[in-house]
Amino acid sequence: MDKKKKEGRYQRMFKQLEELCAKPGTPLSRMATIAAVLHHKMDHFFWTGFYLYENDRLIAGPYQGPVACQELEKHKGVCWAALTGDRTVIVPDVTQFPGHIACDARSRSEISAPVKDKNQHVKAILDIDSAQIEQFDEVDEKYLKDIIKLIY
Ligand code: SME
In tens, the pLDDT along 103-122 reads 999 999 999 999 999 999 99
pLDDT reported for residue 1: 86
Asked whether 21 lines ligand 1 (CB < 6 A), one says no
Q: How far is the CA of 137 from the centre of ligand 1 (A)?
A: 17
Q: Give per-residue pLDDT as tens, 134-152.
A: 999 999 999 999 999 999 9
- Count up the domains in the chain and report the number: 1
pTM exceeds 0.85, yes or no: yes
Spatial CA neighbour of 110 closest among 83, 82, 75: 82
Domain around 144:
3-148
CATH at 79: 3.30.450.40
Q: Are 56 and 123 in contact (CB under 8 A)?
A: no
Q: How far is the CA of 101 from the centre of ligand 1 (A)?
A: 5
Q: Which of 129, 130, 135, 136 is the best mutation target for the ligand 1 pocket, counting ligand atoms within 8 Å of the beta carbon and taking the most?
A: 129
Q: How far is the CA of 68 from the centre of ligand 1 (A)?
A: 8
